[in-house]
């Protein structure tokens, strides 16, 4: 929890008190959880379950999506397309899975390989919930389902120019809303991105979450080409040597920016090789004072010390680990360990985050790829593969599989969320709430 800001911690405590939740309960406000690193302090979570055992409820969803649910108190927020290609935001009752309300935010869903227009995960701060879609539609609602504001970023800055459709999630932190758009310029090769705007900037946008109005916009440049300009990653906030900061990965680089102005403090190129098709999928993760980032297609996982100035590419990273690269699963930082999932090889590796030295490694089994990211809670690591098999591993000092649970409702690309002593697992058909009612 070191990287979760004090204000957020206080807000969590107040909200839990108001909702009558136990002192141990935690929310899952965004796709990588309350600490921005894939972990939760929850305990007492189930190790064994099935479609009929240890299931509090199962809610059929209107469509498939890689978006991870956001949970706050007794509200569960899910984005989804429907059969008419509408783009929806649903609020479910965490107690029984019933639908409290559904909002049609926009229209125009489309699929491209594994993504569709609802891939970004919703985000909440306990007062409002914000959803972003690949159509560039962005909207905020209160917990009763009342629309607070709505806008289309494409009208101001051009449609999102990303080959496999936009996949970054919005970030709420310290009363600010951040949207990252790292994209290809020009967009001519992508029919879904063509509009009157002939050029595209890659940018980091900061908005007022209460009104949706821009506070600042920082253009993030890169010397990358074609698809390598694009990224599906989400920014990570932390307080570093330069103050409140945001870590960003994309366009072949990791960079750290001021959370107040967007000013770039430092950047480093992640790998020497240059390639037109090196899009980055994984988000950065903070491990104490290290910014950890993974490159695409077999490139290593690297860690940089925060606090640099300008381009620090010539300065060696704190460490680099090549044995178990991560192409599309964001690493997990949990209980002082860094867990890297090579989804293609189905291998989970535990690293010492300070040195990059491998502690252990093991196969999660099966033949299906893991497109989701691992989640850490209750001394366990929860992962789900594309077919819908949940694999639970021990987060201790040696590799051990605790359970393998087939749900067989693929394709599954959403990561497991944890809140209120329960697991929330999204398949292509249902959202499962696992644990005691």
How confident is the model at residue 325, as a pLDDT?
Answer: 83
Q: How far, in Å, CA of 122 to CA of 68, rounded?
A: 8
Determine the average pLDDT of the residues in 392-415: 97
User: Class for domain 6-434, per CATH?
Assistant: mainly beta
Bridge pairing between strands 176-181 and 171-173: antiparallel
Determine the average pLDDT of the residues in 46-65: 95
Share of the chain above pLDDT 70, in %: 94
Q: How far, in Å, CA of 199 to CA of 201, rounded?
A: 7
Tell me the pLDDT tens digit for each residue of 149-161: 999 999 999 999 9
Q: How far, in Å, CA of 404 to CA of 390, rounded?
A: 6
Reply yes or no on whether the pLDDT at 56 is more than 50: yes
Determine the average pLDDT of the residues in 182-200: 94
Q: How far, in Å, CA of 383 to CA of 98, rounded?
A: 26
Tell me the pLDDT tens digit for each residue of 98-128: 999 999 999 999 998 889 999 999 999 999 9
How confident is the model at residue 113, as a pLDDT?
Answer: 83
How confident is the model at residue 436, as a pLDDT?
Answer: 87
Pair of tokens at residue 388 = 């819908």
How confident is the model at residue 19, as a pLDDT?
Answer: 35
Cβ-contact 224, 182 below 8 angstroms: no
Pair of tokens at residue 164 = 């496999």
How confident is the model at residue 112, as a pLDDT?
Answer: 87
Q: What is the pTM of this model?
A: 0.93
Q: How far, in Å, CA of 248 to CA of 251, rounded?
A: 10
pLDDT confidence of 348, banded at 50, 70, 90? very high
Q: Phi/psi of residue 188, each to 5°?
A: -60, -25
pLDDT confidence of 326, banded at 50, 70, 90? confident
Q: How far, in Å, CA of 37 to CA of 326, rounded?
A: 15
Determine the average pLDDT of the residues in 292-303: 95
| CA 376 to chain CA centroid, nearest Å | 14
Q: Is the dihedral of CA 77, 283, 285, 385 positive or negative?
A: positive
Where are the domains positioned within the chain? Answer: 6-434
Q: How far, in Å, CA of 415 to CA of 385, rounded?
A: 9
Neighbours of 310 (CB within 10 A): 9
Q: Give the chain's mean pLDDT.
A: 93
């Amino acid at each position: 929890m070191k990287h979760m800001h004090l204000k957020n911690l206080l807000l969590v405590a107040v909200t839990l008190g108001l909702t009558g939740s136990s002192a141990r309960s935690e929310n899952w406000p965004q796709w990588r959880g309350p600490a921005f690193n894939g972990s939760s302090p929850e305990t007492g979570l189930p190790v064994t379950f099935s479609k009929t055992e240890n299931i509090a409820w199962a809610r059929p969803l209107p469509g498939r999506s890689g978006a991870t649910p956001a949970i706050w108190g007794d509200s569960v927020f899910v984005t989804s397309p429907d059969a008419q290609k509408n783009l929806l935001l649903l609020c479910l009752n965490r107690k029984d899975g019933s639908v409290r309300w559904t909002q049609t935010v926009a229209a125009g869903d489309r699929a491209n390989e594994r993504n569709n227009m609802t891939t970004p995960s919703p985000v909440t701060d306990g007062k409002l919930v914000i959803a972003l879609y690949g159509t560039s539609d962005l909207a905020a609602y209160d917990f009763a389902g009342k629309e607070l504001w709505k806008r289309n970023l494409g009208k101001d800055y051009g449609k999102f120019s990303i080959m496999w459709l936009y996949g970054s999630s919005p970030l709420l932190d310290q009363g600010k809303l951040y949207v990252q758009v790292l994209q290809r310029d020009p967009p001519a090769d992508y029919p879904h991105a063509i509009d009157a705007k002939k050029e595209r900037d890659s940018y980091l946008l900061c908005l007022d979450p209460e009104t949706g109005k821009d506070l600042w916009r920082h253009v993030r440049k890169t010397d990358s080409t074609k698809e390598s300009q694009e990224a599906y990653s989400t920014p990570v906030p932390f307080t570093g040597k330069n103050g409140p900061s945001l870590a960003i990965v994309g366009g072949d680089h990791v960079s750290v920016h001021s959370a107040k102005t967007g000013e770039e403090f430092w950047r480093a190129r992640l790998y020497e090789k240059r390639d037109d098709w090196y899009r980055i999928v994984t988000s950065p993760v903070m491990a104490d004072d290290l910014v950890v980032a993974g490159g695409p297609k077999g490139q290593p996982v690297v860690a940089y010390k925060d606090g640099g100035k300008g381009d620090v590419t010539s300065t060696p990273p704190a460490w680099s680990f090549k044995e178990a690269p991560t192409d599309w699963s964001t690493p997990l930082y949990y209980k002082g360990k860094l867990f890297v999932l090579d989804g293609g090889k189905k291998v989970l590796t535990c690293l010492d985050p300070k040195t990059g030295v491998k502690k252990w490694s093991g196969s999660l089994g099966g033949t299906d790829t893991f497109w989701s990211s691992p989640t850490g809670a209750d001394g366990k690591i929860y992962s789900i593969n594309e077919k819908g098999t949940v694999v639970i591993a021990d987060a201790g000092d040696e590799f051990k599989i605790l359970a393998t649970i087939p749900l067989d409702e693929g394709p599954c690309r959403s990561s497991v969320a944890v809140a209120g002593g329960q697991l929330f697992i999204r398949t292509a058909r249902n959202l499962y709430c696992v644990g005691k009612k």
